A = this chain, B = another copy of it.
Amino acid sequence: MIAKTPRPPYYAVIFTSLRTDVEDSSYHETAERMLELAQEQQGFLGMESAREECVGITVSYWESLDAIKIWKGHAEHLVAQEKGKSVWYTAFKTRISRVERDYEF
């Protein structure tokens, strides 16, 4: 549930979203499928996710900006992104960042 990432540097995609009140089973199915698909991508390092009422934060970790770019353009992921905009989310923000340091307990 806390991703086991390698020593920095690596990249984090921080995806913060606000859900609509559309409750269809396809949302959860698609979220699971996207995790499964992301795990198959070259350069994928891990993912963490939490949703509390309408606000959700998903952080995925990647080896490189190229890996992130390829994942963003993946055909099945593009379909999910479109459905996100048209059905599931009222708003979202995606931030692409380079992890410089980390520490844990």
Q: Which A residues contact B (CB, under 8 angstroms)? A: 1-3, 5, 8, 12, 14, 16-18, 48-52, 54-57, 59, 65, 84-85, 89, 91-105
Select one of B14, B50, B85, B99 contacting A105, CB under 8 A. B85
Given A2-B92, A98-B100, output 20 extra A-B contacts at Cβ < 8 Å. Answer: A1-B18, A1-B55, A2-B17, A2-B18, A2-B55, A2-B91, A12-B95, A49-B52, A50-B52, A50-B56, A57-B57, A85-B105, A91-B104, A91-B105, A93-B104, A93-B105, A96-B99, A96-B100, A96-B102, A97-B100
* Residue numbers in B under 8 Å from A101 (CB-CB): 95-96
Name A100's closest neighbour in chain B (CB-CB): B96
CB distance from A11 to the nearest CB of B (A): 8
By DSSP majority rule, is chain A's interface helix, strand, loop, or mixed?
strand
